[in-house]
Structure 1
Amino acid sequence: MDKAKLQREWLKSNFNLLNNIETDQKQKLPQPPLQKFVEEDAEIIVLPEVNKDVITKMNIFDCLMDRKSNRIYTEESLSLEELSFLLWSTQGVKKVVGKVNFATFRTVPSGGARHPFETYLVINRVEGLRKGVYRYLSLDHKLVFMFDKNNMEEEVKEAVSGQNFIASSAVIFVWSCIPYRSEWRYDISAHKTILQDSGHLCQNLYLACEAISCGTCAIGDYNQDIIDKFLMLDGKDEFVIYAAPVGKVKTE
């Protein structure tokens, strides 16, 4: 129990310590990019423009009341329009601010508008997309295809500690974090805000799913090494922080 109590320090605010720290921002060091680099020859998929047509439940009260974790999905595919809506709801960029792309205002809040996340998608059943792993380009509202594998479902299932229901979903959202995007401004105080921010984006996914007759279930239990390796992340400067499968659910 003593070790557990020691870990509680992560939950506390330590922003007062920044008074004595010359953060990289204060030192006028270059800020990290707002989005990961994309190879020139990468396969890019332009997503449909986001609109209200995909929404089946407009009342926010009903969305909040009906929101729950869903682990049973139908075999129905998501449309590309629905996927576009979910991506926009969780990391959509509404505005880029600053003379040199200093920050982004998005559909979710983030400490200091740092938004330290990248969104990866394991696509099983989405109309117009072949099975495989993609990355969301939030600044452009596009997808970049990464790779596909024959045993993809088994690898992902192993990565999430054998939680079998995840393999039946239409798409699996996997969010990584690039800590330096927040550390550049907040140094040792960045990590509390990163964890808070990951909760913001996953809750938006829950509500957005509810609005389009889909379900999701937040996944915090995963094998860090396996899932980072699966997505070809270095596990140090970028690593997985959260995941959530999404699929169509039976409606009453």
Structure 2
Amino acid sequence: MKKKEFLSFHEISQNISFAINNNLTNNPQNWPEEWKIVNYNKYPRFPLLKATNNVSINNRLIDVLHERKSFQKNEKNVLLTSAELFTILKHSLGLKNDKKELNQRVYPSAGARFPIECYLIINKMEEIQQGLYHFDIVNDGLNILLEKNLTDEITKIFGEKFKNSQVLLILTSVIDRNYIKYGERAYRFSLIESGHAMQNICLLSTALQIPMTPIGGFVDSKLIRLLDLEKEREFPIYCCAFL
């Protein structure tokens, strides 16, 4: 698969009719039975080596892993502060130390190529103006790309259920950073890396008791237009909402 072929596959896979304002997918009560069954591989003909006692580890880490969940609503009206947002960004996506070494980050990346970039749509925060921002990992801050109420754009891109979210976070891939080293496998590495980063975001949000949910379904073309991306160079692959 050459570069233009996996970009074509990415384009084809942008069908989001299943996700946006779809009463079937958004309401678990309407799910067909086969959607509700969760399977796993079993090997009943082979012997089982039972787990031994667990090694002692930081109990808080274990608690956070087990407490993590994808929220549907912000039922307690928890407000996300700017301090909490910057804490999540820095320790999910940022540099490991004060030396500002770009190849030393808090999540793994194939060959230390780090194709992932992070953008934020601030929608309902008291301390940060509504608008579009980019996370600057070197300066630990947000580049202000656009100051504007983007609620309508949020609804068109992510669906009605996310229009009241406090923040929408978008992870993109600048694919050539990987491609120059790994060729066609760059696409796969970008997807893997976004998963590493998103799990960090999920766990830190859990630790801070901030309700959030990852989002895999969105209208790519509208999001690319909002972010003003060259879609063959950089494209969104994973998002989340702080509710």
TM-score, length-normalised on structure 1? 0.68
Distance 1:96 1:159 in 2: 36
- 1:178 and 2:177 are equivalent in the alignment: no
Match of 2:66 in 1: 65
Distance 2:212 2:112 in 1: 26
Distance 1:75 1:192 in 2: 37
Structure 1 residue 157 displacement after superposition: 1.8
Distance 2:99 2:103 in 1: 6
Distance 1:148 1:236 in 2: 26
Match of 2:212 in 1: 216
- Contact 1:90/1:108 (8 A) holds in 2: yes
* Root mean square deviation of aligned Cα: 2.2
Match of 2:82 in 1: 80
Distance 2:132 2:224 in 1: 13
CA-to-aligned-CA distance 1:3-52 (integer Å, 9 cap, x gap):
xxxx9xx9xxxxxxxxxxxxxxxxxxxxxxxxxxxxxxxxxxxxxxxxxx
- Contact 1:96/1:104 (8 A) holds in 2: no
Structure whose alpha-carbon radius of gyration is higher: 2
Q: How does 1:197-208 map to 2 (within 5 A)?
A: 197-208=193-204
Structure 1 residue 159 displacement after superposition: 1.1
SS of residue paired to 1:239: strand
Match of 2:131 in 1: 132
Distance 2:125 2:107 in 1: 24
Structure 1 residue 90 displacement after superposition: 2.0
Gaps of 5+ in 2: 1-5, 10-58
1:190 to 169, 176, 186: 186
Which residue identity is paired with 2:127? G
Match of 1:120 in 2: 119
CA-to-aligned-CA distance 1:32-89 (integer Å, 9 cap, x gap):
xxxxxxxxxxxxxxxxxxxxxxxxxx81111111111112025443111101111012
Distance 1:193 1:234 in 2: 20
- Contact 2:71/2:212 (8 A) holds in 1: yes
Which residue identity is paired with 2:120? L
Aligned length: 186
- Contact 1:76/1:125 (8 A) holds in 2: no
Match of 1:155 in 2: 153
- Contact 2:124/2:164 (8 A) holds in 1: no
The runs of at least 4 consecutive aligned structure 1 residues that moved more than 6 Å come to none
The percentage of counterpart residues that share the same residue type is 28
CA-to-aligned-CA distance 1:90-144 (integer Å, 9 cap, x gap):
211115999xx6x521111111111111111111233421111111001221111
SS of residue paired to 2:138: coil
Gaps of 5+ in 1: 1-6, 11-57, 248-252
Match of 1:238 in 2: 234
Which residue identity is paired with 2:86? S
Which residue identity is paired with 1:143? L
TM-score, length-normalised on structure 2? 0.71
Distance 2:60 2:88 in 1: 17
Distance 1:129 1:93 in 2: 23
- Contact 1:173/1:244 (8 A) holds in 2: yes
2:163 to 159, 164, 167: 167
- Contact 2:78/2:210 (8 A) holds in 1: no
Match of 1:48 in 2: none
